[in-house]
Amino acid sequence: MTHQTPLVVIVGPTGVGKTVLSLTLAQTLDGEIVSADSRQIYRGMDIGTAKPTPAEQARVPHHLIDIVNPDADFGLATYQELAYAAVADIARQGHLPFLVGGTGQYIRAVVEGWRIPRVPPDAALRASLYAEAEQHGCQALYERLLKLDPGVAGLIDARNVRRVVRALEVCIKTGRPFSEQRGREPPPYSVLQIGLTMSREALYRRIDARIDAMIAGGLLKEVRKLLENGYDWTLPAMSSLGYLQLKGYFEGTASLAEAIALIRKETRRFIRHQYNWFRLTDDRIHWFDATESPYLVARELICEAFKL
């Protein structure tokens, strides 16, 4: 297996402490970090995405952070290509690549080598599909997809309109079922996956404190600047957790307290969704309780795995 590129993957729900652990491990093991966060790719969205601070990014080189503007069309296939390139570049320099984040699709697309349909976006088609969802509901759009591609049942959540639209776009443009164009071609990596978790109650307390810190740290100012720069609520980037929930506040239909409560509610829902991607029963992942200072054990595990 010596010909394979070593890759450390650190996963877990939002707010559990992936940034702190990855920074410490990468700094002591001559590593570089490849972000696997679908929102940290956007420039100008720093506070709400809990992006590593400039000081943290100065400690360890980071990749795939701040690479596009919020109105860019950026999909899973593009991320996968950029992540492969980043991992290869890090390894070529003799450093240890760390893939770190909580976006399950990003992680698994890289680690498992998903084959992703390379179908360019069709703005007019997408607009008509979104209009159809707005008029008839997301369930109706999902049922249309199922008629074209029964194989997506269980692969795509009917409530995830963006993914339903993309799958329909692929079906319509290629004339082939989206599910049949998927597959796997594992990359030449020797992968060690580390997962961080903690009790749900403790994690929710951390999340509440982090949301309060984001508000105190200027999240409202950040969102206002995005809107002033022309990035409106219809953009996928502005549907991000911590941003879309503030729409009512900025439009005068909700109080700040109501908006914050909504962020907390949706963050809890998102955490449950993340645990569906990163299951504690997945024996490919070495799970650690984040409250028990897992650095030393995790470091030993990495050193043993890759003979460092």
Query: What pLDDT is stored for residue 161 in this prediction?
Result: 87
Query: What pLDDT is stored for residue 178 in this prediction?
Result: 85
Which long-range contacts does 226-233 make (Cβ < 8 Å, 24+ apart)? 226/44, 226/45, 226/70, 229/44, 230/71, 231/44, 231/69, 231/70, 231/71
243/255 Cα distance (integer angstroms): 15
Q: 75 is written with which tokens?
A: 């999909």
Query: What pLDDT is stored for residue 280 in this prediction?
Result: 85
Query: What pLDDT is stored for residue 13 in this prediction?
Result: 94
Residues 6+ apart with CB under 8 A from 128: none
Query: What pLDDT is stored for residue 2 in this prediction?
Result: 46
Scanning the chain, the segments in alpha helix (DSSP H) are 18-28, 54-59, 76-92, 104-111, 123-136, 138-148, 161-174, 200-216, 219-228, 247-250, 256-277, 295-306
Query: What pLDDT is stored for residue 1 in this prediction?
Result: 38
Q: What would you measure as the largest C-alpha separation in the chain, in angstroms?
A: 59
Which tens digits make up the pLDDT trace of 227-261? 999 999 989 899 999 999 999 999 999 999 999 99
Query: What pLDDT is stored for residue 39 in this prediction?
Result: 95
Domains and CATH numbers, the chain: 5-115+185-306 (3.40.50.300), 123-181 (1.10.20.140)
* pLDDT beneath 50, residues of the chain: 1-2
256/263 Cα distance (integer angstroms): 11
